[in-house]
Structure 1
Amino acid sequence: MSALRGIETFVKAVEAGSIAGSARLLGISAAAASQNVQRLESALGVRLLTRTTRSLALTDDGADYYDRVKGLVRELELANQSVAARQKEPSGRLRVAATGAFARHVLSPILPEFSRRYPQLTVEVLATDRNVDHARESLDASIRIGAALEPGLVAQCIARVPSLFCASPDYLARAGRPATPEELSQHDCLVFRFPVDGRFLRWGFVRNGLHFDAPVRARMISDDIDVLARMAQAGAGITRLGAFIAEPMIARGELVELFAEKDVADGSEEARARIDPLEFFLCVRHRRELTPKVTALREYLQEKLPMEWRA
């Protein structure tokens, strides 16, 4: 068992980038983690890591050994979870990454009840819009927007969230109100940029069964959708927001919804364009990682998300 502990500590150290990071992932002290790696190196008779107080690097032997054992550690974790699940309710740590806005506005209000329902689980949420590495960051699952999905992930759509175009009453009084998506090219647009690859979030519409992107004059750009919402509230221009951000601001009178069906004049087919929803997916690396605790989260989200969002 000590050899397995040493291998596990070594793999986690490489993935976390430090011995201290490995200790945090395993719930042990940094001193204990360092001793585990030292015992493993002594048993193998080779140096696996070159360590300093702040960082570490793999030796040639360490790189080869890591490639051979990293899969074993993950398989062992999954086997332990599977066996434990047959004995009792979901337990242990559930580490989930989610886009920043979805984590703040959707997950944070409903996860406390999930935690009470499964008291043996420790839930950790990583709120970020960057690309996450399930293995390196010891994630059980991630929640991603459809436009940011990576090839090879096992992804299930859990929500199709209405997307709303909004601006402040002050901006619309000053610049006028666009009647069609094409008129957005004449307005100041506040655009979300994906931090992963620098792409803009598409401003997509469907008209007569055909998808098209509205022309956008990007005047202000951010990689945080809440920043764009506050800019729009302050009168900077028009932005695209998920319903979970936009609807409370509209209800308070801080923003005005554009292109709503009720605002389209009868017979105005040019203006009758439907806005593409924002699709969110629950992702794992492999089907075997749909462990009981991940399945419990998926079923809970399907229960708690608004009916009109459900995929």
Structure 2
Amino acid sequence: MNLLQLIRSFTRTADTGSIAAAARSLGISATAVGQNIHRLEAHLGVRLLNRSTRQLALSEAGALYLAQVRHIETDLARAQALVTSGDIEPAGPLRIASSRAFGRHVLAPLLPSLQQRYPQLQLELRLSDRAVQHGPEAVDASIRIGAQLEDGVVARPLARIPFVFCASPAYLQAHGWPQEPSDLRGHRGVLHRFPTDGRPLRWGLRKGDQRADAPLPPGMVCDDIDALAELAAAGAGITRLAAFVADPFLRDGRLQAVFGADSAWRPEPMEVYFCVSDRRDFTARIRALFDHLQAGLPPAWRA
């Protein structure tokens, strides 16, 4: 009997709320997960899960057992990674969570070369702008901006990516070109609503030691970065985009930068962090990912 395998089936089922979801996370069949839990209950002589046609719930004994075995599973995985990392080529599953825009525009182009370098890695990229729970969701590393950082994660600076305030040429011709942050009061904003709490993110500007938040009235609000670019290009107003989204629109002239290189006021950059749940999680696989991303980013973005 592989007790650790039985424990993993139990903890993953408790975390995900269903045997089917636990099976998908573990990469085994739902039947195997169910059998593992039955074997664990038989081994312990107690019922760990109360089952009904609609849901699974931890029994009192199950809740006590889960609290005790969770750290054992984590410590065993870390111990195995620690003693096998050495000079051995990184291998095994590597689950990476990222915000949608950064994952789509930055991570996706970089990850294939990482897998080519380390073919034994099994990469999984999960894109979401919501909060990510590393343990319950079996995430090995996440790439987050400052506003997304969850309590308790270990965050290493990865990049400082320029933000660009921009609008369509037709919009700027019709409504004027702002020179100072206060000029934005008379413009329409195309704002990003952050999914974690529903609030529009603040737009910061700096001129030397001075700082100002852009007083931009919301004309339109959207929760998708790529859609913001299209809205602004269609004349909806002024938006703020990360350079990796804005650059193609600036190159082909569909958008023009406001507070650009010729302005004393510059948008504050986007701080991007590489996150794990614990310092001990920097195994060979995680270090390989971190080093690869740092090397692949434009030099001007590196933190």
Q: TM-score range by the shorter chain?
A: over 0.9
Give the structure 1 partner of residue 287 of structure 2: 295
Give the structure 2 partner of residue 307 of structure 1: 299
Q: Which moved more, 1:142-151 or 1:300-309?
A: 142-151
Amino acid at match of 2:273: F
Mapped contact 2:146–2:273 kept (Cα < 8 A): yes
- Displacement of 1:127: 0.6
Give the structure 2 partner of residue 241 of structure 1: 241
Give the structure 2 partner of residue 98 of structure 1: 98
- How many residue pairs match? The answer is 303
Residues 87 and 57 (structure 1 numbering): CA distance in 2 closer, same or farther, change over 3 Å?
farther
Q: Distance in 2 between matches of 1:150 and 1:305?
A: 24
Give the structure 2 partner of residue 269 of structure 1: none
Give the structure 2 partner of residue 161 of structure 1: 161
Tell me the alpha carbon deviations over residues 14-38 of structure 1, each in whole angstroms, 9 at most, x when there is no partner. Answer: 1122111221222211111110000
Q: Which moved more, 1:17-26 or 1:240-249?
A: 17-26
Q: Distance in 1 between matches of 2:157 and 2:222?
A: 26
Structure 1, unaligned runs of 5 or more: 265-271
Work out the percentage of aligned pairs sharing the same amino acid.
49
Mapped contact 2:98–2:127 kept (Cα < 8 A): yes
Give the structure 1 partner of residue 174 of structure 2: 174
1:216 aligns with 2:208: no
1:142 aligns with 2:142: yes
Give the structure 2 partner of residue 128 of structure 1: 128
Give the structure 1 partner of residue 72 of structure 2: 72
Q: Distance in 2 between matches of 1:306 and 1:40?
A: 50
Residues 54 and 75 (structure 1 numbering): CA distance in 2 closer, same or farther, change over 3 Å?
farther
What's the secondary structure of 1:122's corresponding residue? Answer: strand
- Displacement of 1:209: 0.5
Mapped contact 1:164–1:243 kept (Cα < 8 A): yes
Give the structure 2 partner of residue 250 of structure 1: 250
Give the structure 1 partner of residue 206 of structure 2: 206
Tell me the alpha carbon deviations over residues 153-205 of structure 1, each in whole angstroms, 9 at most, x when there is no partner. Answer: 21111110010001112222222221222111111101112111223211101
Mapped contact 2:50–2:56 kept (Cα < 8 A): yes
Tell me the alpha carbon deviations over residues 78-109 of structure 1, each in whole angstroms, 9 at most, x when there is no partner. Answer: 12222232362111100011111000000111
1:20 aligns with 2:12: no
Mapped contact 2:86–2:284 kept (Cα < 8 A): no
Give the structure 2 partner of residue 282 of structure 1: 274
Give the structure 2 partner of residue 30 of structure 1: 30
Amino acid at match of 2:17: G
What's the secondary structure of 1:67's corresponding residue? Answer: helix
What's the secondary structure of 1:201's corresponding residue? Answer: coil
Q: Distance in 2 between matches of 1:162 and 1:117?
A: 29
Amino acid at match of 1:171: Y
- Displacement of 1:2: 2.3
Mapped contact 2:13–2:21 kept (Cα < 8 A): yes
What's the secondary structure of 1:261's corresponding residue? Answer: coil
Q: Distance in 2 between matches of 1:216 and 1:46?
A: 60
Structure 2, unaligned runs of 5 or more: none
Mapped contact 1:18–1:54 kept (Cα < 8 A): no
- Displacement of 1:54: 6.1
Task: Indicate the RMSD between aligned Cα atoms, in angstroms.
Answer: 1.4
Q: Distance in 1 between matches of 2:65 and 2:113?
A: 42
Give the structure 2 partner of residue 10 of structure 1: 10
Give the structure 2 partner of residue 118 of structure 1: 118
Tell me the alpha carbon deviations over residues 29-86 of structure 1, each in whole angstroms, 9 at most, x when there is no partner. Answer: 1111110000111111211112356642111211111111111111111122222323
What's the secondary structure of 2:295's corresponding residue? Answer: helix
